[in-house]
Amino acid sequence: MNVLIINSGSSSIKYQVLDMATETVLAVGLVERIGEEVGRLKNTVRPDSAEARETVLEQPIPDHRTGMELAIGLLTDPAQGVLRDGAVIGAVGHRVVHGGEDFSGSMRITPQVIEALERNIPLAPLHNPANLDGIRVAMEIFPDLPQVAVFDTAFHQTMPPRAFLYAIPYELYEQDRVRRYGFHGTSHRFVAGECARLLGRPLEECNLITVHLGNGCSMTAIENGRSIDTTLGMTPLEGLVMGTRSGDVDPALHLFLKQNKGMELEAIDALLNKESGLKGLCGMNDMRDIHRAAEAGDRRAAIALEVQTYRNRKYLGAYMAVLGRVDAIVFTAGIGENDAVVRAESLRGLEHLGVVLDGGRNSERSREARCISSEASRVRVFVIPTNEELAIGRETVAVVRG
């Protein structure tokens, strides 16, 4: 079955067409600047092969529907589309950011599911409406295809109350569902599954800590295959230091900034989400630039690295305490997969907890899943490339096949 994966944002749509029989990417694309004067669509056919071919369109793309139709036009183009000659899409899988407490797994999209997504808009006011746009457009274009929602939050619905409740008046949870939800669930679930395979054990018997370090960063404590705690909270702002997001701060910071800097709440929210994290500390949010700058003597770049890796280490220690037995720690996403220095610094000093890196293995560059701990390490350490689209494709097929 070919599955179309859609990740619809407020002014962009990312998509992939996957052949799920072979788990290969037939096409990948990005529609961006929707609603701006000139929009852009980039479509790449068979990106992982020698015949990869890229098409770029620049023209006004007033709305999501136009963007999706342009993409479908390229995919089904009789001369060079990947879906020519009768190849069809069998199902559509949608990445959905916030499922609230309504979804602990992927769901076939029905009017009830759409209603629940609308109900959860207050929890993700930027993301859920954009995801819903993508769902509505795909349902209009493909009215007869099964459509599946795969939620960023679903994997973490197994967290117990002691991990998901904030210590604030309980009524805020009861009435407004204010609690920790966690995100990146598709990625944590995917690399946990791959890790179990490498350990040669069922996931249900594995205790893992999965560390997703990309532009967004989060860490999850997994007990017997289930998420029992994770660093992102009610929104994707809590926890680790991210590219432009602060992670944990004292909540009284809001009042301080208002009283001393005259900032409105919206400006503070933007500051913490878009101007903080690595970027706030050193002006850069790409880890490659930060390393170059730190090596050239830029002190703030060095500090940014230290603050991020120290926070990683602190949460690793916390999750080791929470789990007791840890079979493996898994690094994934842009930084986690590529950055040997961040991995080594995040694990520095954890030898007494049974975590011993193999320096040689850690610095080897590879795109494959691999073990980077030494033979003496009680806790194994892996680098496992995440693949959220493939995970969404697998979930979609599983839901469609019941």
Active site residues: 152
The two structure tokens encoding residue 163? 């991990």
CB of 25 to ligand AMP, least distance (A): 16
Q: Please give the structure tokens belonging to residue 402.
A: 């019941």
Please give the residue whose beta carbon sits closest to ligand AMP in the complex: 334
The residue (of 66 and 235) whose beta carbon lies closer to ligand AMP is: 235
Asked if residue 82 lies in contact with residue 45, where contact means CB atoms within 8 angstroms, the answer is: yes
Q: Give per-residue burial for 164-189: e unless 16+ CB within 10 Å, then b.
A: beeeeeeeebeeebbbbbbbbbbbbb
To ligand AMP, the closest distance from the beta carbon of 288 in angstroms equals 5
Report in angstroms how near the CB of residue 290 gets to ligand AMP at its nearest: 8
Find out whether 179 and 149 touch, Cβ atoms under 8 Å. no
**Which is nearest to 395 in space by CA: 102, 36, 133, 154?**
154
Q: How many residues bind ligand AMP (CB under 6 A)?
A: 11
Closest CA to 211 of 311, 279, 95: 311
Choices 21-29, 137-145, 262-270, 284-292 (CB under 6 A): range interacting with ligand AMP: 284-292
Regarding 287 and contact with ligand AMP (CB under 6 A), the answer is yes
Report the residue number, 89 or 232, with the smaller CB distance to ligand AMP. 232
335 binds ligand AMP (CB under 6 A): yes
What is the token pair recorded at 149? 């929602």
Interactions with ligand AMP, residue window 159-218 (CB under 6 A): 214-215
255 SS3 class: helix
Question: Per CB under 6 A, which region of 141-149, 327-335, 346-354, 368-376 contacts ligand AMP?
Answer: 327-335
- Does 389 bind ligand AMP (CB under 6 A)? Our answer is no
Of the pair 301, 379, the CB lying nearest ligand AMP is at 301
Distance, in Å, from the CA atom of 327 to the CA atom of 344, rounded to the nearest integer, reads 18
- By C-beta, is 287 or 323 nearer to ligand AMP? 287
Q: Which value, in Å, is the radius of gyration of the alpha carbons in the chain?
A: 22
Looking up tokens 């994290």, which residue turns up? 277
Pick from 192, 195, 201, 179: nearest CA to 227: 192
Question: Can you tell me which of 100, 243, 385, 393 binds ligand AMP, judged by CB under 6 A?
Answer: 243
Residue of 238, 339, 389, 395 interacting with ligand AMP (CB under 6 A): 339
Cβ at position 199, least distance to ligand AMP in Å: 24
Look up residue 178 and give its two tokens.
Answer: 């204010």
CA torsion sign for 43, 45, 48, 54 is negative
Distance CA 168, CA 277 (A): 26
**Token output for 61:** 């793309």
Using CB under 6 A, which of 134, 334, 385, 393 touches ligand AMP?
334
Identify which of residues 68 and 333 has a Cβ nearer to ligand AMP in the complex: 333
Shortest separation between residue 331's beta carbon and ligand AMP, angstroms: 11
Minimum CB separation from ligand AMP for residue 291, in Å? 7
Largest CA distance in the chain: 65
The region of 164-172, 202-210, 314-322, 331-339 touching ligand AMP under the rule CB under 6 A is 331-339
- The rounded distance, in Å, linking the Cα atoms of 153 and 148 is 15
Beta carbon nearer to ligand AMP, 150 or 335: 335
Residue 16 touching ligand AMP (CB under 6 A) = no
Least CB distance to ligand AMP at residue 385 (A): 10
* 370: nearest Cα among 337, 327, 348: 337
Q: Which is nearer to ligand AMP, 157 or 386 (CB)?
A: 386
Rounded distance, CA 243 to CA 233, Å? 17
- Among 46, 164, 56, 41, which Cα is nearest to 101's? 164
Does residue 77 bind ligand AMP (CB under 6 A)?
no
Binding positions for ligand AMP, rule: CB under 6 A: 214-215, 243, 286-288, 333-335, 338-339
